[in-house]
Amino acid sequence: MSSLPTVATVIGSGTMGPGIAATLARAGSTVRLYDISEDAIARAEAAYGVVQGVLEAVDSPSAPGGSVTFGTDLDAALAGTELIIEAVPEKLELKQKVFADLEARVGDDVIIATNTSGIPISTMAKSLTVPGRLIGMHWSNPPHLIPMIEIIPGEATDPTLVDKLAEIVKAFNYVPVIEKEIPGFVENRVLYAILRECMALLEEGIVTPEGLDAAVKWGIGYKLSVVGPTRLLDMAGLDIYQAVSSYLNKDLDNSTDTPQFIKDKIAAGELGFKSGAGMYEYGEGDVDAKRKEIITGLIAARKTLSTIPNV
């Protein structure tokens, strides 16, 4: 019998919600995607066919009976739900307010999973009436393509939820990684260590954005997609790692704040794809073209990687 919930609810239909909902629905769950914004729901509905096409292209597990319904009626979205996945903006107070709204409407046995990028689960759980039901379920963007989910229990999380959520994740053929709670969890700690160094290299004018993207894609990105960092050290030699890290580590960027040039871009309204400019400039149609290239590349890479053993 599948461990998938019969009915699941996704709260927040922005970048992450629609892909999460579609992945569960394709595997067989009845999913209700809820947002406070009518516009966000309309965008998700309009994009649903494309997301389904992507899931088809990567042979995402499918079972009959699954569906997504879209709406702004919270009670309707929660009727009969067993699992709620919260994907509203990364603001502690907002998430806590959402949890309060949810708890007022569902029974104590309903699991609340949060897609937070790194706010400690224990901090969020403090505001819950039933703190044991909150657990971290961190999907990676785009959620319908990146087949790995971090599972993070907080101090109060019911320990049985960890295995239960891991079984749900396996039911749609994703890899669950169970972690201990720490700000940023594992994936974002590694990603933000890389991004911190990358932004410092750009700020100091050491390399161009194009050069940086090429060096990371073909240098470490390509290699790390096949060999994880631990195995990479065995491949390189621990003695080499010691020799290089003994002089390099102290030279790496260790700033604790966001770089000023990024803050300046944000102040100028340059947020990336969503505003038509960011690290790069985008002309008419460029953003859609880039999004398409990225999705096409991720589909091809996932298909190839799925044929390669874990080394």
Ligand X SMILES: Cc1ncc(C=O)c(C(=O)O)c1O
Which amino acid is present at 297?
G
Select the binding partner of residue 188 from ligand NAI, ligand X, none (C-beta < 5 to 8 A, by kind). Answer: ligand X
Q: Rg of the Cα trace of the chain?
A: 21
Nearer to ligand X, 88 or 106 (CB): 88
Measured CA to CA, the distance from residue 85 to residue 178 in angstroms comes to 17
149 binds ligand NAI, rule: CB under 6 A:
no
Write the DSSP string, 219-285: IIIHHHTTS-HHHHHHHH-HHHHHHHHHHHGGGS----S--HHHHHHHHTT--BGGGTBSSSB--TT
Nearer to ligand X, 240 or 271 (CB): 271
14 binds ligand NAI, rule: CB under 6 A:
yes
- Enter the tokens of residue 78: 């929660």
Nearest distance from residue 25's CB to ligand NAI, in Å?
Answer: 17
Q: Provide the angle, in degrees to the nearest 10, between the axes of the packed helices 229-236 and 238-248.
A: 100
116 binds ligand NAI, rule: CB under 6 A:
yes
139 binds ligand NAI, rule: CB under 6 A:
yes
Select the binding partner of residue 16 from ligand NAI, ligand X, none (C-beta < 5 to 8 A, by kind). Answer: ligand NAI
Binding residue (CB under 6 A) for ligand NAI from 2, 3, 6, 15: 15
21 binds ligand NAI, rule: CB under 6 A:
no
DSSP code of 69? Answer: E
Q: Residues in the site for ligand X, rule: CB under 6 A? A: 117, 140-141, 188
Nearer to ligand X, 50 or 298 (CB): 298
By CB under 6 A, the residues from 86 to 105 that bind ligand NAI are 87-90, 94, 98
141 binds ligand NAI, rule: CB under 6 A:
yes
Select the binding partner of residue 103 from ligand X, ligand NAI, none (C-beta < 5 to 8 A, by kind). Answer: none
- Burial call 69-88: b when 16+ CB within 10 Å, e when fewer: ebeeebeebbeebbbbbbbb
